[in-house]
Structure 1
Amino acid sequence: MELIKSNDASVTFAEPTTAASLVWRNFSCIYVDNQKQNFVSCDTCKDILHHKSIDGTSSMMKHFRSCEKNSINNNNESLTINEYFSSLKTRSVPTRSKKKVLNATVELVAMDNRAFELVGGNGFINLAQTIFDVGQELSKSQNINVSDLLPHPTTVSRNIDRLFISRKSQLISLCQNIKSYAIVVDFWTESHSGVSFCGISFHFLNEELQLYAFILGCYPYDRDNQSSSQIRQFVDAKLLEFDLSLENSKFVVTDNENKMKSCFKEPCIRIGCSIHYLNKQLEHCFTSVTLEKISVNCDLVQEMFDYIRKIVSHVRRTHKQSKLPRKLQSYSYTRFNGAFLTMNVFLTVFDDLVGVLDRTFLDDYMLIDKDLLEHVCSFLGPFEEVINELSCDKKPTIYKVLPLRQCLINRCTIHQDDHDGIRQIKTFL
């Protein structure tokens, strides 16, 4: 290096006489007193690299691509044949690396609810290989076939139980140290199979008042009946698996059905779900004729909603969705404020439906009062906002219930210029 810096006459640079790699076009061999040295010089930046013939040209290629003076223009130059075609030689993947990928894949299918076959699909392999190739371009490491790295779907499925046991053990350890918490319990029945399920989640605040929520499980209900005592025993048994129990200082959030009220009268503090109560009122408004033997008296909006549901069902069943700018949404009683979602989407494509419907459903379409539909969607918009506000799972929302409730009560004040259908909704709510 000192001889080169001092421009000593004994140091000379020369191109290699025989060179298989095109990268030699950018490097020169170094000679001292006509004796070839184990060093080469970059023709662009004049940096000196250690080089032996047995080492190959990988270090030279890496330097050439990262050369500061050359990198500015590299993007505009044509790729050499060596850059176009990567080496076909691959090396085996270390066991430790494969285990890391296996664990990440198991968590992928578990957390994102994906099929085990996901990692075996051509599209996924292509994506993973592309990402890996990009990483190789940056690191200049040896080629690795990504298929050798990914576990087989069967291997993933066999590790799901292992992951579940591990995570459950961690959650049990966490639950043992939490003194104040709330449990959310929900029951529902799958319509096709008739099987009932119980969902239980666990919520608590840490010392920094950050809200944490964990789903303990979604369990098939296997008791003889659904009496309040049987349901309570079922829930207590599932909580006991996590060393949890309901006491006078523990909170339980449930819907407002009489059965759930009876289940959790004591020894715990039951809090009725405000969103469930609000949703049930909206559901009755559009689907029920009577409630506790009292007439709902929302005929105008219920008639309109029936026409909308018929048209939506027809369009979806006859595969005419592609002719509309937006997909119509079927009504679902399990979806909070489901009537609003169905009507609001229907309103956005209202004018486009004329060219899609046949004569039978076009008659129903003509009976829908668009002005009433616009008023109903406008009126229900704040209800949707309140539901979303109370549905936050990142921080407590119980302190918002009363002010938001009062806000909705104020919105139900009847005005002289209200549409008759809106008057009916406000009166019922």
Structure 2
Amino acid sequence: KQNFVSCDTCKDILHHKSIDGTSSMMKHFRSCEKNSINNNNESLTINEYFSSLKTRSVPTRSKKKVLNATVELVAMDNRAFELVGGNGFINLAQTIFDVGQELSKSQNINVSDLLPHPTTVSRNIDRLFISRKSQLISLCQNIKSYAIVVDFWTESHSGVSFCGISFHFLNEELQLYAFILGCYPYDRDNQSSSQIRQFVDAKLLEFDLSLENSKFVVTDNENKMKSCFKEPCIRIGCSIHYLNKQLEHCFTSVTLEKISVNCDLVQEMFDYIRKIVSHVRRTHKQSKLPRKLQSYSYTRFNGAFLTMNVFLTVFDDLVGVLDRTFLDDYMLIDKDLLEHVCSFLGPFEEVINELSCDKKPTIYKVLPLRQCLINRCTIHQDDHDGIRQIKTFLIE
């Protein structure tokens, strides 16, 4: 017979004999740190002690509250409707609910009975959209001074063009607010400047907004957009778009307005990098690298920098991943030039991020940041030939 016992809470071993009674155990129980923290010497209530294993039906009012919150979740976080049906999500929700039960002393409820079906969530998305749009319309009616940002692009695979429109204004405390009015498929017969303007005006009218002489419109610097918003409004060219287009031409364009870009060294290197990145991603060899390679996208600001910077990070690891064909292209890449290009483009990325701030106005930063980049394009004697080509093009 063993003369000891173990504490269920802290697992301490206590000397105990039956003839001693329970005094030593009670003394340890009162001094047990974990027990005092977790239980605070509180006795169970009758409902807790005789808790029912059956789950209660969830009131309709409570289910509606959870439904609305779930619709908000998938809409605001851009999540799939099936999210609420996943085992992981149900486990998380049940755990949170159980913790709430411990604090509120409520009875057991199966969280599966509380969560709406994904189909129910999908059917309520339109209702939420109509409600939020109505609130936004009411807000727009009270704003007298604002700016509209308009962006057009075409999806390369389907050929469908889209128009994105956002609404920006300052409140009385000079806090910047931004709302996306919508991303609309362009359904007009052509993309003439007059048709585009009519399309944008029609979408703004849905929110009781109109472009007048005192209203600002921010667009890219393409001739078509300049023609669309000549009047009656004040058009401001997007500085980030202008900067991004110049960097894009450095790495992808042979000529610009019938004038040679003359960035052969960096363009040849960039072509090799794009081929290797495409091959690695297509052949599912990403898992062998410490970081995922990034494909080039002309719609991403400073996309060439992101592609090359990630490529440089895993440059030495690529030797063990590439086959002979692409290894020949790899050997033709000048790592020294790649390092210089990434170092040169780093401040451009910082400027783009600085001007992309959506919490406060940034127009006052354009001129000083522009001058900073111009100063960076000063040619030095020890510059690599490829860097000289980039600087010459950007300055001109």
The answer to whether the Cα contact below 8 Å between 1:62 and 1:140 also exists between their aligned partners in 2 is: no
Q: What secondary structure sits across from 1:126 in the alignment?
A: helix
Distance of aligned partners of 1:51 and 1:370 in 2 relative to their CA distance in 1, 3 Å threshold = closer
Corresponding residue of 1:94: 59
Distance of aligned partners of 1:117 and 1:62 in 2 relative to their CA distance in 1, 3 Å threshold = farther
The answer to whether the Cα contact below 8 Å between 2:216 and 2:236 also exists between their aligned partners in 1 is: yes
The answer to whether the Cα contact below 8 Å between 1:254 and 1:260 also exists between their aligned partners in 2 is: yes
Give a deviation string over 1:361-383, Cα, whole Å, max 9, x none: 11111111100000000000000
Distance of aligned partners of 1:295 and 1:224 in 2 relative to their CA distance in 1, 3 Å threshold = same
Distance of aligned partners of 1:414 and 1:198 in 2 relative to their CA distance in 1, 3 Å threshold = same
Q: What secondary structure sits across from 2:5 in the alignment?
A: strand
Which of 249, 258, 264 lines up with 2:223 in the alignment?
Answer: 258
- Structure number with greater Rg is 1
Once the 2 structures are TM-superposed, how far is the Cα of residue 122 of structure 1 from its aligned partner? 1.5
Distance of aligned partners of 1:268 and 1:59 in 2 relative to their CA distance in 1, 3 Å threshold = farther
Q: What secondary structure sits across from 2:149 in the alignment?
A: strand
Which of 165, 172, 179 lines up with 2:137 in the alignment?
Answer: 172
Decide which moves more: 121-130 or 337-346: 121-130
Once the 2 structures are TM-superposed, how far is the Cα of residue 118 of structure 1 from its aligned partner? 1.1
Q: Give distance in 2, aligned partners of 1:55 and 1:156.
A: 64
The answer to whether the Cα contact below 8 Å between 2:51 and 2:107 also exists between their aligned partners in 1 is: no
Distance of aligned partners of 1:142 and 1:426 in 2 relative to their CA distance in 1, 3 Å threshold = same
1:60 equivalent in alignment to 2:25: yes
Unaligned stretches of 5+ residues in structure 1: 1-35
Which of 122, 131, 154 lines up with 1:157 in the alignment?
Answer: 122
Corresponding residue of 2:209: 244
Give a deviation string over 1:231-266, Cα, whole Å, max 9, x none: 000000000011000000000000001000000000
Distance of aligned partners of 1:143 and 1:421 in 2 relative to their CA distance in 1, 3 Å threshold = same
Distance of aligned partners of 1:55 and 1:148 in 2 relative to their CA distance in 1, 3 Å threshold = farther
Once the 2 structures are TM-superposed, how far is the Cα of residue 144 of structure 1 from its aligned partner? 0.7
Decide which moves more: 126-135 or 36-45: 36-45
Once the 2 structures are TM-superposed, how far is the Cα of residue 217 of structure 1 from its aligned partner? 0.7
Q: Give distance in 2, aligned partners of 1:37 and 1:173.
A: 78
The answer to whether the Cα contact below 8 Å between 1:65 and 1:74 also exists between their aligned partners in 2 is: no
Distance of aligned partners of 1:144 and 1:58 in 2 relative to their CA distance in 1, 3 Å threshold = farther
Once the 2 structures are TM-superposed, how far is the Cα of residue 63 of structure 1 from its aligned partner? 19
Decide which moves more: 378-387 or 150-159: 150-159
Once the 2 structures are TM-superposed, how far is the Cα of residue 179 of structure 1 from its aligned partner? 0.2
The answer to whether the Cα contact below 8 Å between 2:4 and 2:16 also exists between their aligned partners in 1 is: yes
Q: Give distance in 2, aligned partners of 1:58 and 1:205.
A: 71
1:349 equivalent in alignment to 2:318: no
Once the 2 structures are TM-superposed, how far is the Cα of residue 426 of structure 1 from its aligned partner? 0.2
TM-score by length of 1: 0.82
How many residues end up aligned between the 2 structures? 394
Distance of aligned partners of 1:301 and 1:143 in 2 relative to their CA distance in 1, 3 Å threshold = same
Distance of aligned partners of 1:200 and 1:42 in 2 relative to their CA distance in 1, 3 Å threshold = same
Once the 2 structures are TM-superposed, how far is the Cα of residue 402 of structure 1 from its aligned partner? 0.3
Give a deviation string over 1:367-410, Cα, whole Å, max 9, x none: 11100000000000000000000000000000000000000000
Decide which moves more: 343-352 or 108-117: 108-117
The answer to whether the Cα contact below 8 Å between 2:48 and 2:105 also exists between their aligned partners in 1 is: no
Once the 2 structures are TM-superposed, how far is the Cα of residue 50 of structure 1 from its aligned partner? 36
The answer to whether the Cα contact below 8 Å between 1:184 and 1:200 also exists between their aligned partners in 2 is: yes
The answer to whether the Cα contact below 8 Å between 1:39 and 1:52 also exists between their aligned partners in 2 is: yes
Once the 2 structures are TM-superposed, how far is the Cα of residue 52 of structure 1 from its aligned partner? 36
Q: What secondary structure sits across from 2:383 in the alignment?
A: coil
Identity in percent: 100
Q: Give distance in 2, aligned partners of 1:234 and 1:58.
A: 85
Corresponding residue of 1:132: 97
Distance of aligned partners of 1:198 and 1:50 in 2 relative to their CA distance in 1, 3 Å threshold = farther
Decide which moves more: 276-285 or 190-199: 190-199
Once the 2 structures are TM-superposed, how far is the Cα of residue 322 of structure 1 from its aligned partner? 0.9
Q: Which has the higher contact order (CA 8 A, sep 6+)?
A: 2
The answer to whether the Cα contact below 8 Å between 1:188 and 1:198 also exists between their aligned partners in 2 is: yes
Once the 2 structures are TM-superposed, how far is the Cα of residue 291 of structure 1 from its aligned partner? 0.2
Superposition RMSD in Å: 7.4
Give a deviation string over 1:34-67, Cα, whole Å, max 9, x none: xx99999999999999999999999999999999
Once the 2 structures are TM-superposed, how far is the Cα of residue 87 of structure 1 from its aligned partner? 4.0
Distance of aligned partners of 1:43 and 1:105 in 2 relative to their CA distance in 1, 3 Å threshold = closer
Once the 2 structures are TM-superposed, how far is the Cα of residue 71 of structure 1 from its aligned partner? 2.3
Once the 2 structures are TM-superposed, how far is the Cα of residue 98 of structure 1 from its aligned partner? 1.1
Give a deviation string over 1:59-118, Cα, whole Å, max 9, x none: 999999999995237599999999999742111112221111111101111111111111
Which of 300, 304, 312 lines up with 2:265 in the alignment?
Answer: 300
Corresponding residue of 1:372: 337
Distance of aligned partners of 1:75 and 1:184 in 2 relative to their CA distance in 1, 3 Å threshold = same
Q: Give distance in 1, aligned partners of 2:233 and 2:27.
A: 67
Q: What secondary structure sits across from 1:92 in the alignment?
A: coil
Distance of aligned partners of 1:44 and 1:403 in 2 relative to their CA distance in 1, 3 Å threshold = closer
1:325 equivalent in alignment to 2:293: no
Which of 232, 247, 252 lines up with 1:267 in the alignment?
Answer: 232
Q: What secondary structure sits across from 2:246 in the alignment?
A: helix
Q: Give distance in 2, aligned partners of 1:128 and 1:51.
A: 44
Distance of aligned partners of 1:80 and 1:140 in 2 relative to their CA distance in 1, 3 Å threshold = closer
Q: Give distance in 2, aligned partners of 1:44 and 1:358.
A: 60
Give a deviation string over 1:256-280, Cα, whole Å, max 9, x none: 0100000000000000000000000
Q: What secondary structure sits across from 1:86 in the alignment?
A: coil
Unaligned stretches of 5+ residues in structure 2: none
The answer to whether the Cα contact below 8 Å between 1:183 and 1:252 also exists between their aligned partners in 2 is: yes
Q: Give distance in 2, aligned partners of 1:150 and 1:59.
A: 49
Distance of aligned partners of 1:49 and 1:288 in 2 relative to their CA distance in 1, 3 Å threshold = same
Decide which moves more: 129-138 or 339-348: 129-138
Distance of aligned partners of 1:91 and 1:362 in 2 relative to their CA distance in 1, 3 Å threshold = same
Decide which moves more: 172-181 or 91-100: 91-100
Q: Give distance in 2, aligned partners of 1:275 and 1:243.
A: 29
Within 5 A, what are the aligned runs for 1:18-29? none
